[in-house]
């Protein structure tokens, strides 16, 4: 059985909450990973870049044993397909010890919140991250 992994570039707090609600309440075959705050772009194997230069991205890593749950997430218009990158598509030199070199990984939400406040992070729509409450 193959395991698929993606990064979702979350563009608003509302989108973040919609994604988590969808995963917790509807899509049991998508598994949440870590939050990652990345500064700058991520270079892909096809020569394209993911993200915007000189700005922060708020990524959520997810995994599944099938691509179907991600397709359902897109079909339900929970996230735009352009805000998803397959980890297999990222250039190897973007990683160090299986982590993005320009990313800060968070396993605990309290650490994430503290970091976002420290860098005065705002999503693309100007909203700020708030703790998810199902």
The string of pLDDT tens digits covering residues 7-34 is 999 999 999 999 999 999 988 899 999 9
The bridge status of strand 42-43 relative to strand 84-86 is unpaired
123 in any annotated domain: no
Tell me the average pLDDT across 107-132.
93
φ, ψ for residue 93, nearest 5 deg: -70, 0
Asked, for residue 31, whether it belongs to a domain, the answer is: yes
DSSP state of 93: G
pTM (2 d.p.): 0.93
Tell whether 91 is covered by a domain.
yes
Neighbouring C-beta atoms of residue 23, cutoff 10 Å:
19
Domain around 92: 4-118
Give the pLDDT of residue 100: 94
Number of domains in the chain: 1
């Amino acid at each position: 059985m193959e395991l698929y992994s993606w990064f979702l570039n979350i563009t608003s707090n509302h989108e973040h909450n919609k994604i988590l609600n969808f995963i917790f309440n509807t899509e049991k075959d998508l598994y949440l990973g870590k939050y990652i705050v990345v500064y700058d772009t991520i270079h892909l194997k096809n020569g394209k870049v993911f993200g915007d230069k000189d700005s922060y991205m708020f990524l959520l890593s997810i995994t599944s044993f099938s691509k179907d749950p991600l397709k359902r997430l897109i079909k339900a218009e929970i996230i735009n397909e352009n805000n998803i990158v397959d980890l297999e598509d990222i250039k190897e030199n973007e990683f160090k010890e299986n982590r993005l070199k320009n990313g800060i990984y968070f396993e605990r939400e309290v650490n994430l919140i503290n970091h976002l406040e420290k860098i005065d992070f705002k999503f693309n729509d100007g909203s700020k991250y708030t703790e998810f409450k199902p």
